[in-house]
Amino acid sequence: MAKKVHRYDKLDNTAHLFPVITGENMSNVYRVAAVLKDEIDAELLQQALDTVLPYFDVFAVRMRKGLFWHYFETNHKTAPRVTEENAYPCRYINPFDNHDYMFRVTYYKKRINLEVFHALTDGNGALMFLKELVYQYLRYRYPKLLEQTEDRLRIDTSLDRDDSYLRNYKQAAQKKYKTEPAVLVTGEKMPPYQLGVIHGRIELADIKAAAARYSVTINHYLVGTFIWAVYKCFGQSRQGKPIRVCVPVNLRPYFDSDTMKNFFVVVSATFRPTKASYTFEEVLGEVAQSLREQITKDNLENLMSYNVSNEMNPWLRAVPLAIKSFVMRCIYNSSARANTTTITNLGVVKVAEPYREYIEEFHAVLSTSKGQNIKGAICTYEDKLVVTISSCVKETVVQKAFFRQLAQDGCHVSIETNGVYYESLSEM
């Protein structure tokens, strides 16, 4: 019998914060999901997970607490059990109830859900794992696929465990982040652990045409429209207070990286109302300009270098974990209200040719966090773009304003919810 390899691995720069601030009330878990054409066979999905997991060292780990940092070590336990979804998305993952793993796989009707604790990887890394899980499941489900494909990982699937933050770190940079309080989306909260989810499905051609009409990218258009919705619902009475949206940027294309670990930085799309009223075009123009100025390789490198500089400081590295954790929590809590929301765009999901006809769509769901009671995720597959808005607030005024603006701009939007908002959305 081959000897099992046991590895120890440091958390990447982004991952250090998550175990410090995570708990039952703030999970830092996100979901990527694939919707197939046919109902899911749970037994075959479990077999697929059992087959695929050993290849992915980034997922096959458990977290340990060291003297100076948290760290990962190889988890030799059997894969977590695949279960039918029976609760709200993005709940806290208790490793003791999950074979010590920090991800879960569930299914519902035709949908396969992969939920991931953010310390493991970002959305791009999770999508790589999800696609291989889906490929393997489809090979088990439809034996004819075995005649068209090889029963192994795709050659373009990365298993790279490189810490691309450290490899691309150049020098410490001046601090870039803002701590000024932003406009927040408030209202009556849902019960604990409840999360309202709305999927808005849009033809890609419609959203391209709408963005082109304003001479902006699709990402600019959607982020700008969301800020417009927040401005209409909460910002008009708070003149001078910024509406600030965190926009994660995948660094892999900028630094030639294929890492499965986290590798992104966050820029801020900001709109600050300073007069009595604005048009949609004015808001969108400011937001698009804000993003254009920040999403350059030089600026992204500066943001990344500032983030890594603290980790590289020899004095800070020698501080015990308990003290580091206390300081990180204090810094996080003091800056939590500096951002209105987060909107992440996972881009276009590309699937290998033999499997495309079996897959309907991909989408993503973000959990809420302190100060950010509403968040958005964007995912594109084939000719369909899905905008998913998750919230722990009962009211849906922002969601309605957002989708109404899309409709006004010629986008035909199909709405689906997880049931929390049925009564509220009847007015949309």
Three-state SS across 172-209? CCCCCCCCCCCCCCCCCECCCCCCEEEEEEEEHHHHHH
Q: Does residue 148 contact residue 364 with C-beta atoms inside 8 Å?
A: no
- The pLDDT assigned to 175 comes to 59
- The pLDDT assigned to 311 comes to 82
For 2-31, b/e burial (b = at least 16 CB within 10 A) is: eeeeeeeebbbbbbbbbbbbbeeeebbbbb
- The pLDDT assigned to 90 comes to 96
Strands (E), 251-319: 264-271
Prediction pTM value:
0.94
- The pLDDT assigned to 427 comes to 54
The C-alpha atoms of residue 298 and residue 254 are separated, in whole angstroms, by 10
**CA distances to 9, 130, 149, 174, 272 from 102, in Å:** 15, 15, 30, 34, 38
- For the chain, list residues with pLDDT below 70: 1-4, 172-178, 237-238, 422-428
- CA within 13 Å, CB half, 235: 27
Q: Nearest Cα to 198, choosing from 108, 89, 110?
A: 89
413-416 own/partner pairs: CB under 8 Å, 24+ apart: 413/200, 413/201, 413/202, 414/200, 414/201, 414/202, 415/198, 415/199, 415/200, 415/201, 416/198, 416/199, 416/201
Other Cβ atoms less than 10 A from the Cβ of 178: the count is 14
Q: Does residue 118 contact residue 34 with C-beta atoms inside 8 Å?
A: no
- The pLDDT assigned to 2 comes to 44
- The pLDDT assigned to 424 comes to 53
Q: Does residue 221 contact residue 210 with C-beta atoms inside 8 Å?
A: yes
Name the one residue in this structure whose structure tokens are 């701009």. 409
For 318-329, b/e burial (b = at least 16 CB within 10 A) is: eeebeebbeebe
Name the one residue in this structure whose structure tokens are 């949908």. 111
Other Cβ atoms less than 10 A from the Cβ of 360: the count is 14
